[in-house]
Structure 1
Amino acid sequence: MSIGNSPEDERPFEDDREEARPSVGRALQQARIAAGLTVDDVSTATRVRIAIVHAIEADDFAPCGGDVYARGHIRTLAKAVHLDPAPLLARYEAEHGGRPAPTPAAPLFEAERIRPERRGPNWTAAMVAAIVAVIGFVGFTLFNGGDEDGAGANVAEGATPATGGSASPTPKSKKPSDPKPEPSDSAIAAAPQDKVTVQVSAADGRSWISAKDHNGRLLFDGLLKQGESKTFQDSSKINLVLGDAGVIDLYVNGKKIEDDFQPGSVERLTYTKGDPQAG
């Protein structure tokens, strides 16, 4: 009979610290409770729906609508409950196969070409042309009036013209070019007052966006790459969904929206005519 450890005791020690670590949803739930916050409090602070907060805390990420939005929600909720989002995102990616391949934009735009939209008249170009015409007419009128006044002053102050000889022509000053209007800060600065015009620009990265008119008709649903922009116009209302609002610049009815959207946050916005009002 041998004296010593049994074969079971000689097996390598298995570190179960990974097993003891809470899941992504459990970690967010524990941090929320420790911060003294309810699900309603977190939903109000982050604009993430209550049902999605409950699902994430239960490690059910299907209601998020995809890995991109799941990571954005995890980042937003972690900041709201004072957690570092990086370890949670790393754990999520390890459990769900890492970051997905970027979605190609070509099929989205091909689908948009297959479903052409009826567009109204280009009111922006018409108004800019009208402004240029008015400025040109005013400048021409002022210039002609100045020439007539100058000619009268020359006759009153100069010598009496001699008779019988050809008078030397009076030198004329070079006609200045018509004044040009200053370029506006945005192509929609001259947006018509009877419509709502929204311009979405991906300034700091790429983001998925969706836009609908007041009847709920889909105007655009796709990926906006960095540096690209889209302009939407409707008679009364534009509804927007921004997949990553932190990288987006918004111009509504010629005015830049200065909302401090967080990177990775999903925003649902509504804008109407007149002074921009987010719904």
Structure 2
Amino acid sequence: MSIGNSPEDDRPSVGRALQQARVGAGLTVEEVSTTTRVRIPIVHAIEQDDFSRCGGDVYTRGHIRTLARAVDLDPEPLITQFDAEHGGRPEPTVPAPLFEAERIRSEPRRPNWTAAMVAAIVAVIGFVGFTLFNGGGKGADGPVSADGTANAEKKPAPAPNTTRPTVKPTVPAPSESAIAGLPKDKVTIKVTARDGQSWVSAKDANGKLLQDGLLKKGESKTFTDKKRIDLVLGNAGAVQLYVNGKEVKRVGDEGSVERLSYTPGDPQAG
């Protein structure tokens, strides 16, 4: 007596399911790559269930979602299957120290004028008391009037120091002159991992790989090309991006994977 396979045994793998859906939709790997901006070698690798080129489980899930939507496939069952086959999704509390701690920032302290005034008054009172004490000790040596009393010289007390402490100016954003100094016929991109680490991949207009790796918090990379620069940013919400001297205010959400292209002139994401 033979025992039939369970429905789960007959279920195709994640890569096989994506490949079948792509073929069923009549799309080539090149067309899917152009639509999703996922590189052709990575699309081939995922369809062969090789996720080693994705850069980690977080980016793998993002690629699976992107490819599934491109071929009209529900990504959630595929994500669940991937997690079951690769040790499960990490606990949601694990990334909290990396990202949440960066968002909790104390507001800059304002100068305490009351404390400054109190300190100035205390200093003046101490100075006056010191002056009077020394003046009383030297009164016998000072000029004497006709009635025999010491004629101590009275000095006016100095006025309270009400000068406000100097507040350091904040660092300004790049000026118009700095922006104007950038070459008009080139695209210049500066990527800074401001609020946390981010995976960054950058290519020029000829497809040459300029950067492909992890950018640690606080590190920056600058890329220049005459025609175009294509970016793939992991954890895009932690990135500060300047394109041709102008800051791109919103790059993406925390933990998201963003694919962007820029050319010379005003930054217009592709």
Q: When the two structures are superposed, what TM-score results if normalisation uses the length of structure 2?
A: 0.49
Give the structure, 1 or 2, with the largest relative contact order (CA under 8 Å, sep 6 or more). 1
Q: When the two structures are superposed, what TM-score results if normalisation uses the length of structure 1?
A: 0.48
